[in-house]
Structure 1
Amino acid sequence: MKKIFFLLLIVVLYSFTTSEEKTTISGKITNTENGIIRIKGELLDKEIKLKPDGSFSENLTLESDGIYKIETTKNSFSIYLSKDSKLTLSADDTNLITTLKFTGKGSVENQYLAKKQLITSVIPDEELYTLNENEFLKKLQEIKNSVNNLYLKTKFTDANFKTKEAININYLEQKHLLFYKKYHYVFGGVNNFKVSENYPKIDETIDLDNNSYFLFSNEYQEIVLNKFYEGVKGDGITGMISAKDAIPKIKALKSQSIKNRLIENSTNDINIGNPNYDKTYWEFLSIINNPVVKQTLTDNYNATNALQPGNPSPKFDYENQKGGKTSLENLKGKYIYIDLWATWCGPCREEIPFLQKVEEQYKGKNIEFVSISIDALKDQPKWSKFVIEKQLGGIQLLAENEWESKFVKDYGVWGVPTFILLDPNGNIVNARAPKPSDAKLIDLLNSLKI
């Protein structure tokens, strides 16, 4: 009896001490630019440094089976991972999709995905949506038939994948039907576009709050997110939504994964331009369980707090159109009105006459007008020519790295034009100052007795 009890005790102890089941992914990806890949998916964002020959091997702890993404500097591709996957892959990053090969447990499903991507990428979405309606529907049917044939020929080893993929082929069609109807006017340049009476009906019965399918299907994700943005008057292209409208609807969702993604797409709401950013931050934080997104939100929150009036301004030291460089330190002693803009930006160009008028009105007073362009460095000649031809006044500077310029990122700028006002000590007066065409700018400048 004691012997039996002892054996049972060993079994119980063993069940508590065995390590968590790991998903194994290994292989070789040659000719990457920096020798680094990322694996991204639900609650997973892992950077992997490849060995000199491009090989790697990783054990992953997955929260769920589903579609994940591997990214190199130049490319990305979807892979299906389950908690018991033992997958080995090989590819050449210079021609990644056509060279992608899989072996091991899960290889059949992933080879299917690679072949499917070859079919669906024959014509990029933007080109697909430029076709007239009849051509579009014909091409879409060709794509769906090809994917269907591939599905029927494949001898899947994962029953869960096979079942969901059968439904996912329908999501592929529905996504394109929805997006063509919405975006043909954008990509095709057709104003007031409407589909014909014979256009296939969009399936309104799709469950838009299914966590399992959101984890499995990129196409389902695009449908869900687009429909959500419609419901909160958001932008289905950029993902920008109004937190005030969105938060109650996000909270009402059952799917935690959809909640996470919607908030991940809205981290820019934690921005000095949002007067309710503090409330939005805490609301977002209470909804999500993704640690990476939580960190991004917190980074944005801390950066936004640093932009409150009276705090020291982030610094810049940029190329001056007249030669040399100009830094914030060079301009201390005067108020500084900064215009972040670009030559390719229509709204920026519309503000130029108003800015010139304000510059003339405050000529000789204790204020400098500084325009910082986020044009690409390769377009420096174009920028300089524009400054000369338009006779732009003030101090004309060119940022070092477009949107990724440190000054631009430190100010949380994701749209131009953006205007900033600093005091003579280089401290922030207003990180989102009124634009030149707004009468409130003159009221602000006059209140400071410049």
Structure 2
Amino acid sequence: MKRISVIFILILLVACKTNTTVDYAILQGKIENKGELNKLTLTNNDRDFKYEIDIAEDGSFQDTLNIDSGVYTLSLDRRKYISVALFDGDHLIVKSDAENFADSLKFEGQGANENILLQSINSKMKDFDERRKNDYTLEEEAYKSLLLNQKSKLMSLLNASEVINHLFKEEQTRYINYWFIHNLQYYQSSHRYFAADPDFVVSNDFLEEAKHLDFQIEEDYRGSRYYNSLVNIEHRKIADSLVNVGFKSGGQARLEAATHFKSEYIRNDLLYQTIMGTLVFANKFSADYNSYLELTTNETQKTKVQEKYSQVKALEKGNPSPAFTNYENHSGGKTSLEDFKGKYVYIDVWATWCGPCKAEIPYLIEVEKKYHDNNNIAFVSISVDKEKDHDKWKTMVKEKGLGGVQLIADNVFNSDFIKAYQIMGIPQFILIDPEGNIVNRNAPRPSSSELLDVFAELNL
């Protein structure tokens, strides 16, 4: 009897050990030809989540991850990244070459099947998305049929693999559906543009699949960029409806619209996106900032917003503009903002390597010509080209026949004027009044008809 009891106890112990729940994943691998790169970065749609994994000198890495199961983005640098699925209990081995990061991927270990399948699904989605310009010209029945056929292929690919985590399969089933609905949502506006039919409206049942979408799924908001985008579309729709019924401002409408989402996480993130966009681009933002502080419950995001506000509060409309001093003038000598006192100043911050900047040049030339004899406004272009491109700047100004005042910043993006205006991307256009105060720190581009409307309002 004793012997039987001992054996029974041993069986129980083994069973307990076998059923132990693992609440972490192991990510391991090697990056060939890593060069100076020494970290991998793990992120998802959560703007508060960023985890760095050290890469050893020989390119190897390994880390134990106590994170929520799901799909993440694994980045080697800004241009080299892949999607990875990580679930509790996985021991995923990733091997790749830094010089051809995505295409040289190899997966091994627990979780490999899921990730091989994930790359295949994402690749097929990407291929379809890249040819949508042509597909958007199709009539709606043909377009939807094409989309349904592609969704069916993706689901067949997912269902054909039997050796995968059931949680991964359930998640990808939802994500494929979000991809499908996302493509439906963009059809009307895209068809109007690509088919040159500005009055086109989809039929009442075209978006039937989108009508019952649940916008409160935190896990999918973090993991699926298509679901994340759909939530943001819904957020904009609610905000637009509030503006249409007379809500006091667009910023306030977007903040109020965020409160319509029951998920605290999603609500806070929409509030955060709204206020950060306002602080980066708007000319009046104190009222929106105060409303945000009352509405959010995310202390981490609140701290970031407070820090951003302290950086940009001097850039509200009517405040004195930051100044630049003794910038090199293409025509010779040095020029400062003070030299334009008594005139409105329309500033274009650009660079010779910036495609969107160069796209604005023809429009800027036309606007400058239109106001060339108007002594009440000056057109100033400030290049943020590096020293090595100085001659390229000199040549482009001459070859393009750029008018106005052509200057080059004294220290690229680290110039005091550029940093003071919190300029992170170009082109950026700034409008300053005759007293040197900010009219618009993010003025309309020359290609926008709104610019001439702004000038007309100022009696220029």
TM-score by length of 1: 0.72
Report the 3-state secondary structure (helix = DSSP H, G, I; strand = E; otherwise coil) of the residue aligned with 1:212: helix
Report the 3-state secondary structure (helix = DSSP H, G, I; strand = E; otherwise coil) of the residue aligned with 1:265: helix
2:294 is the counterpart of 1:289: no
Report the 3-state secondary structure (helix = DSSP H, G, I; strand = E; otherwise coil) of the residue aligned with 1:27: strand
> 1:332-347 maps to which residues of 2 (within 5 A)?
334=341, 337-341=344-348, 342-345=357-360
Match of 1:26 in 2: 28
The percentage of counterpart residues that share the same residue type is 22
> 1:102-181 maps to which residues of 2 (within 5 A)?
102-123=107-128, 125-131=129-135, 132-133=137-138, 136-137=143-144, 139-181=146-188
> 1:193-204 maps to which residues of 2 (within 5 A)?
193-195=200-202, 201-204=208-211
> 1:347-362 maps to which residues of 2 (within 5 A)?
348=364, 351-353=367-369, 355-359=371-375, 361=376
Report the 3-state secondary structure (helix = DSSP H, G, I; strand = E; otherwise coil) of the residue aligned with 1:254: coil
Counterpart CA distance in 1 for 2:298 and 2:88 is 20
Report the 3-state secondary structure (helix = DSSP H, G, I; strand = E; otherwise coil) of the residue aligned with 1:39: strand
Counterpart CA distance in 2 for 1:81 and 1:322 is 58
Report the 3-state secondary structure (helix = DSSP H, G, I; strand = E; otherwise coil) of the residue aligned with 1:176: helix
2:226 is the counterpart of 1:219: yes
Structure 1, gaps ≥5 residues long? 1-19, 235-240, 363-367, 444-450
Match of 1:4 in 2: none
**1:132-166 Cα shifts (integer Å, max 9, x gaps):** 32664465345323322221122354332222322
Change (3 A) 1:222 1:73: same
Contact 2:80/2:101, CA 8 A, preserved across alignment? yes
Change (3 A) 1:431 1:26: farther
Change (3 A) 1:404 1:264: farther
Report the 3-state secondary structure (helix = DSSP H, G, I; strand = E; otherwise coil) of the residue aligned with 1:88: strand
Counterpart CA distance in 2 for 1:421 and 1:141 is 55
Match of 1:420 in 2: 432
Match of 1:365 in 2: none
The CA RMSD over aligned residues, in Å, is: 4.1
Name the aligned partner's letter for residue 344 of structure 1: A
Match of 1:70 in 2: 74
Counterpart CA distance in 1 for 2:311 and 2:194 is 36
Counterpart CA distance in 2 for 1:224 and 1:411 is 31
2:335 is the counterpart of 1:321: no
Contact 2:28/2:62, CA 8 A, preserved across alignment? yes
Name whichever of 259-268 and 194-203 sits farther off: 194-203
Report the 3-state secondary structure (helix = DSSP H, G, I; strand = E; otherwise coil) of the residue aligned with 1:90: strand
> 1:225-374 maps to which residues of 2 (within 5 A)?
225-233=232-240, 242-266=250-274, 267-271=276-280, 273-275=282-284, 277-285=285-293, 286-287=295-296, 289=298, 291=300, 293-294=301-302, 296-307=304-315, 313=322, 315=324, 318=327, 320-323=329-332, 326=334, 328=336, 331=338, 334=341, 337-341=344-348, 342-345=357-360, 348=364, 351-353=367-369, 355-359=371-375, 361=376, 370-372=380-382
TM-score by length of 2: 0.70
Shift of 1:245: 0.5
Match of 1:17 in 2: none
Counterpart CA distance in 2 for 1:269 and 1:310 is 17
Report the 3-state secondary structure (helix = DSSP H, G, I; strand = E; otherwise coil) of the residue aligned with 1:155: coil
Match of 2:400 in 1: 386
1:46 aligned to 47, 51, 70, which one? 51
**1:54-86 Cα shifts (integer Å, max 9, x gaps):** 333334443x33322122232322222345544
Shift of 1:283: 3.4
Counterpart CA distance in 2 for 1:59 and 1:301 is 37
Shift of 1:26: 2.8
Name whichever of 373-382 and 127-136 sits farther off: 373-382
